[in-house]
Amino acid sequence: MSQIVRLKDIVVRFYTYEGVVKALEKVNLFVKKGETLGLVGETGCGKTMTGLSIFNLIPSPGRIEGGEVLFRTKEGRIKNLLSLDEAGLQRIRGAEISMIFQEPSASLNPVYTIGDQVSEVFLTHREKALLKNTIKKIDEELQESKGELLKRFILRFEKNIYERIMRNKDPLLIRILNKIPLIRRYRRRLEAEAKKQAISLLRDLGIPDPERVADMYPYELSGGMQQRAVIAMALACNPVLLVADEPTTSLDVTIQARILELIRELKRRFDTTVLFITHDLGVIAEMCDRVAVMYAGNVVEIADVKEIFRNPLHPYTKALMESIPQPGKEYKTIRGVVPNLINPPSGCRFHPRCPQAVEICAEKRPELLEIRKDHFVACHLYDGEER
Amino acid sequence: MGMKAYIVRRVLLFIPTLLGVTLLIFAILQFFTPEERASAYIRGTPKNPDVIYRVIEKYHLDAPLHIQYYFWITRVLSGDLGIAKSAGNIPVSVALLKGIPATFELVIFSIPSIIFLGIYLGIKSAVNRDKASDHIIRIFSIIGWSLPTFWSALILISIFYGGLGWVSAGRLSNEAYGVVTSPNFIRYTRINTIDGILNGQLWITIDALKHIVLPVINLTIISVALIVRVMRSSMLEELSKGYILTAKAKGLSNDVVINKHAKRNALIPVVTISGVLTAGLLTGVVITETVFNYKGIGYFAAHAALQMDIPSVLGFALFVGLVYSVANLIVDITYAYIDPRIRVE
């Protein structure tokens, strides 16, 4: 299986007044084509930042200070997303990789309709196809409207503009035309075409009465419906990779299950690879093929989902597994607290809380190594270092 | 549609608001004796005290309050607000109608420049947060805000009128004033820039525009900071919200993210401030009007107050109440236009 995306030594720092937060320290990760990789860890361990670094969208005052994000595009070329310019990134974001966020009500703009926000994706990434359809429609109308001079004149004018956009002629002229109130109306045809696609996409996602929902504002929808709309935006252009950042955390349990089922079904239908970020091990077990465990800005273990539940190697993963509440068993917690990332512990960041820590753990940072086939661990217990 | 229903509801609410304004002013009137109130309707000082009693009787000034209010509001609605002694014994309504167009003209030209410049600079400032352009915009806008109005006005006058000798103060040059006041020039609106066009005398319009430039610049300098600061902070808040990240992750360009997604949400507080600012300018640009010898409504009100001209002051208060009510109405409707959540209550 080929890798869709590979993160190499990603370093992210936040420059705050309290000090430099070392949020991600050399994160290494890859996602294979067609799989669902779960990214699990406590709050604040850098899961979301890892997801955002793929988009090169780390919010200020954060910065990506090192590493590479190698991404295989639909055409099969491998690009380093961190060295692309803004325009290049914009072509990839939303079209080849897209993201679903935790809070659907926050990730929708409250003042635009659902239809507007979904069709925006088509208008941005599928303009050529929309233009072709629109011109074809205008041609049909031109044939029907023999004799109606004014209508024919307007249609000709609009067709002219669309053909200009199609040939990318005079982008400045188009930009100016878009600012003039009456002339701007020509865009309505294009927008109507995009909205039609948006509606059919909403229907595919199991939204009842999509024509009506498309004209609704986010506040008029329930959380589950809002998340469906967000998923629609993310899947509009059949992305190769979908990053789902705790997509069900803010939803009711019953709706959670339905959204998870939807993501699974869509993954199959659209042949998408998923990076699933969550802190919920139950969801991981249900959704993922492989799991990457993060602790304080590092990936500490990667393995198949069955392997990680049956045979966790890293002391943190072990502790995490033991902290799953089970009936009849004593409930265990991990001793100590999550470290402050302004002054993270030296060496292995988990060593102050680790029951198996030895001297070297405080001195040397363990590398992520393949201990068994497809099982990676970053821990001195397994890397053959002298103890 | 929700929008239409909302507008109808909001306009209906406008009626009780106006009623409240008139009741308040009527209540203030009750601080005066019937004799004092009667003298408001008499030109000059009457030699014969009988005149006052005849006025009291005719205008029902000593009747029970509800009857008094009925007759008073009927007179107000028919435009009879008493006599403005401070403006040469002309009716208050006439004096108001003389002053309002000048102020209106000033505000109509100032408000777009204040609001659009403020929004533009506010967005620029927020998008380039903590960079040089942000600091420059903030420093200059706050300097403008802190300048005493009369001082900045005098500086402008001494540079452009005194030093460079472009135009003199006032609303029109002497030559144009002669034409405007002549009988064959019809003053449709009393707004010189518009009347010039309506009379087919474009040079009057140009002359009026020349005279209005400096007061407009002065008002812009001292007011734009308000919009800039509100726009900047609300833009910063919106830019940190989740939907901005979603929009960027969709692959939208920065231009769309800022000018479509963030701007519309950020405008909501700016609309409130703009409404208050416009109403404030319409009713209180006394200093700018005085320094630039631009006789508008503020100028009239200030003189009336200095000369204890009660009917004029109360007539002005009625105007102020009306302006603020209308401004609020417009603000509320604009809100609903921007934010669909406001349309439902």
| Contact assignment for A59 to B245 by CB distance below 8 Å | yes
Q: Look up the ipTM and state it.
A: 0.88
Residue A21, helix vs strand vs coil: strand
Amino acid, single-letter form, for residue A345: P
| DSSP one-letter code for B33 | -
Query: In the numeric block, which tokens belong to residue A372?
Result: 């068994």
Q: Which of B169, B141, B177 shows the shortest CA–CA distance to B153?
A: B169
- DSSP reduced 3-state for A128: helix
CB pair distance less than 8 Å for A55 and B264? no
In angstroms, the CA A271 to CA B332 distance is 48
In whole angstroms, give the CA distance from residue B96 to residue A60: 54
Residues A210 and A200: their CA atoms lie apart, in Å, by 8
Chain centre to alpha carbon of residue B310: 22
Select from B145, B135, B281, B138 the least CA-distant residue to B222.
Answer: B145
For chain B, the average pLDDT equals 89
Query: Cβ B246–A230 below 8 Å, yes or no?
Result: yes
Q: What is the DSSP letter of A93?
A: B
Of the candidates A374, A339, A38, which has an alpha carbon nearest to the alpha carbon of residue A348? Answer: A339
- Nearest residue of chain B to residue A55 (CA atoms): B249
| Smallest Cα distance from B340 to chain A, Å | 6
Hey, are the CB atoms on B252 and A94 less than 8 Å from each other? Answer: yes
pLDDT digits (tens, 9 = 90+) for B161-176: 888 877 777 888 888 8
pLDDT of residue A386: 43
Instruction: Report CB contact under 8 Å: A217, B241.
Output: no
Name the band, by pLDDT with cuts 50, 70 and 90, for residue B1: low
What backbone phi and psi angles, to 5 degrees, belong to A127? -60, -45
Tokens 């209180």 belong to which residue? B284
Query: What angle, 0 to 180 degrees and rounded to 10, lies between the N-to-C axes of helices B2-29 and B310-338?
Result: 160
Query: What pLDDT is recorded for position A384?
Result: 66
Q: How far apart are CA A237 and CA B203, in angstroms?
A: 59
CA-wise closest residue to A309 among A328, A296, A331, A326 = A326
CA–CA separation, B7 vs B29, rounded Å?
A: 33
Judged by CB atoms closer than 8 Å, whether chains meet at A107 and B246 is answered as: yes
HSE-CB for B119 with a 13 A CA cutoff: 19
B61 CA to chain A: closest CA distance, Å?
A: 54
Alpha helices (H) along A238-346? 253-270, 281-287, 305-310, 315-322
* Region B107-131 average pLDDT: 94
pLDDT at A387: 42
Q: B78 burial class (0-12, 13-18, 19+ CB within 10 angstroms)?
A: exposed
Of A94, A43, A81, residue with least CA distance to A246:
A43
Strand partners, A293: A40, A301
Of the partner residues A92, A219, A230, the one whose CB lies closest to the CB of residue B341: A219
User: Does B249 contact A86 at a Cβ distance shorter than 8 Å?
Assistant: no
Residues of A with CB under 8 A from a CB of B: 52, 55, 57, 59, 86, 89-95, 98-99, 101, 103, 106-112, 120-121, 124-125, 217, 219, 230, 233
Q: Residue A80 — φ and ψ, nearest 5°?
A: -90, 110
Nearest CB among B241, B252, B338 relative to A124 is that of: B252
Phi, psi of B115, rounded to the nearest 5 degrees: -70, -50
* Distance (Å, whole) CA B254 – CA B261: 10
Q: How far is A138 from chain B (nearest CA, A)?
A: 27
Structural domains of chain B in order of their starting residue, each with its CATH number: 2-87 (no CATH), 90-343 (1.10.3720.10)
Reported as a single tens digit per residue, the pLDDT across B51-110 is: 888 888 888 888 899 999 999 999 999 988 888 888 888 899 999 998 899 899 999 999
Find chain A residues with C-beta within 8 A of B265's C-beta: 109-111
Rg, chain A, Cα only? 25
pLDDT for res A270: 85
Strand order in the sheet with A369-372: A97-100, A241-245, A273-278, A36-40, A290-295, A298-304, A375-377, A369-372
DSSP class of B215: H
Comparing CB atoms, the residue among B241, B247, B265 nearest residue A106 is B241
CA distance B261 to B206: 39
Which amino acid is present at B43? R
Residues B306-338: pLDDT tens digits?
A: 988 888 999 999 999 999 999 999 999 999 999
| Contact state of B243 with A107 under an 8 Å Cβ cutoff | yes
Per-residue model confidence (pLDDT) at position A120 = 93
Contacts of A229 (CB under 8 A, 6+ apart): A104, A108, A114, A117, A118, A202, A207, A213, A218, A221
pLDDT > 90 fraction of chain B, expressed in percent and rounded: 47
**Predicted confidence pLDDT, tens digits, chain A (387 residues):** 588 999 999 999 999 998 999 999 889 999 999 899 999 988 888 899 999 999 999 988 899 998 999 999 888 888 999 999 999 999 999 999 999 998 899 999 999 999 999 999 999 998 888 888 888 888 888 888 777 788 888 888 888 888 888 887 677 777 787 777 777 777 888 889 899 999 999 998 889 999 999 999 999 999 889 999 999 999 899 899 999 999 888 888 888 888 899 999 989 888 899 999 998 888 899 899 999 999 999 999 999 999 999 999 999 999 888 888 888 777 778 888 888 889 889 889 999 888 888 888 888 889 898 888 889 999 988 876 544
Q: Which tokens sit at A160? A: 């002219």
**Domains of chain A and CATH, by start:** 1-109+231-331 (3.40.50.300), 115-197 (no CATH)
Exposure on the CB side of residue B183, measured as CA atoms within 13 A = 0
**CB contact residues (below 8 A), chain B span 237-266, against chain A:** 240-243, 245-254, 256, 261, 264-265
Q: Give how far A184 is from chain B: nearest CA, Å.
A: 15
Question: Residue A288's closest CA among A299, A296, A298, A280?
Answer: A280
CB atoms within 10 A of CB A153: 10
Token digits of residue A271: 């042949």
Residue A119's DSSP bridge partners are none
